[in-house]
Amino acid sequence: MNQKEIKIFSAGSIVIGVTVWIIPFMLNNFEVLSLDSLKYVNLGITVAGLFWFSYFKWAWKWGYIRKFLYRPNLNGTWLGEFESDWKDEQGQVNPPKKFVLVIRQHWFTISVKAFTNIQKTESYVETLMLDGNKGTKILAYLFSEKRSRTGDHGPRQGAAELDLVETDKTKLLEGHFWTQAGTRGYIRVKQISSSDHVDSFEQSEIKWSDKDCWESIQGDNC
C-alpha cells in the first residue's frame, strides 16, 4: 500500500466502525462507557475487518466498488506478439512471433508467466506502478527464462516494463523487455480472457485457434 491507500484504508475502517457503533447508540441510548458500548465497538472492528477481507479477496474486481482502492484487474490470458533484436548464426533477426502472457493477480500480489513456441518465462519480482497524476499504469517484472525446446542459447534472466492501455472494450499491455544477454525487444498483447489461465503455449493455440485472436490486437474480432 502507498501512503494514499493507507489513508483511505484507515478512514474507511473508522467510518465503518463508528457507523456500526453509533446506530445502536442512537436507538438504545446506552452509556458511552458501558459494556454495551464496548460490545458495539468490538462489533464495529469485526465488521470493518470482514469488509476489508471481502474487498481484498473479491470486491476489488467489482464494478464501481473497485475504485475505492483502485487496482486494474489484469487477471487472465493475454495474446499477441513480441519482437526481438536477437540474431541467429546467419545474422538474421527473427520476425515477430506469437506471444502469450498469463497473469494471476490478487490485490496484494501479482505473478506473470509468458510462453512462446520454444520457451517460457516466469516472473520472480513484480510491481504494478500506478500514478494518477500522470495517468500511467505500468506492470514491471523480472523474469527467468526456461527453454521448452532446444535452442541456440540457455536460460536467461531479464526484465519487462509494460504500459496498460484500457478502453471500454479492451485492455492492452505493450512495452519493452531486456535480457542479461544484451538482447531487447517489444511486447504487444491483448487480454483475451480475464478468467482463463493457460499452462502452455500449445493450450492457448488450441483454445484460441482463430488467427484474429493473435493478430488483431487493436480490434474486437475474438
Q: How far apart are CA 157 and CA 122, in angstroms?
A: 10
Query: Which of the four pLDDT bands, split at 50, 70 and 90, describes residue 26?
Result: confident
- Of these ranges, 24-38, 115-129, 138-152, the one predicted with the greatest mean pLDDT is 115-129
Going by CATH, does the domain composed of 76-215 fall within 2.60.120?
A: no
Query: Which of the four pLDDT bands, split at 50, 70 and 90, describes residue 66?
Result: confident
For residues 143 and 122, is the Cβ–Cβ distance under 8 A? yes
Share of the chain above pLDDT 90, in %: 59
DSSP 28-64: H---SSSHHHHHHHHHHHHHHHHHHHHHHHTGGGSTG
- Provide the Cα torsion 149, 152, 153, 158; round to 10°: -80
Predicted local distance difference test score (pLDDT) of residue 221: 59
Q: How far is CA 109 from the centre of its chain?
A: 8
Mean pLDDT, the chain, integer: 88
Predicted local distance difference test score (pLDDT) of residue 12: 93
Task: List the domain boundaries for the chain.
Answer: 3-67, 76-215
Q: In this predicted structure, which of 91-95, 100-104, 117-121, 183-187 has the lowest mean pLDDT?
A: 91-95
In this prediction, residues 33-49 reach a mean pLDDT of: 92
Query: Which of the four pLDDT bands, split at 50, 70 and 90, describes residue 110?
Result: very high
Cell digits for 198?
493457460
Residue 218 has pLDDT above 70, yes or no: no
pLDDT digits 0-9 by tens, 137-188: 999 999 998 765 555 555 679 999 999 998 878 899 999 999 988 889 999 9
In this prediction, residues 188-212 reach a mean pLDDT of: 92
Q: In this predicted structure, which of 25-34, 38-47, 192-201 has the lowest mean pLDDT?
A: 25-34
- Tell which residue, 112, 127, 12, 122, has the closest CA to residue 71: 127
For residues 218 and 125, is the Cβ–Cβ distance under 8 A? no
Q: How far is CA 63 from the centre of its chain?
A: 16
- Provide the Cα torsion 56, 57, 63, 67; round to 10°: 10
User: Which position has the grid cell 492457448?
Assistant: 204
- Tell which residue, 89, 103, 203, 217, has the closest CA to residue 153: 89
Residue 123 has pLDDT above 60, yes or no: yes
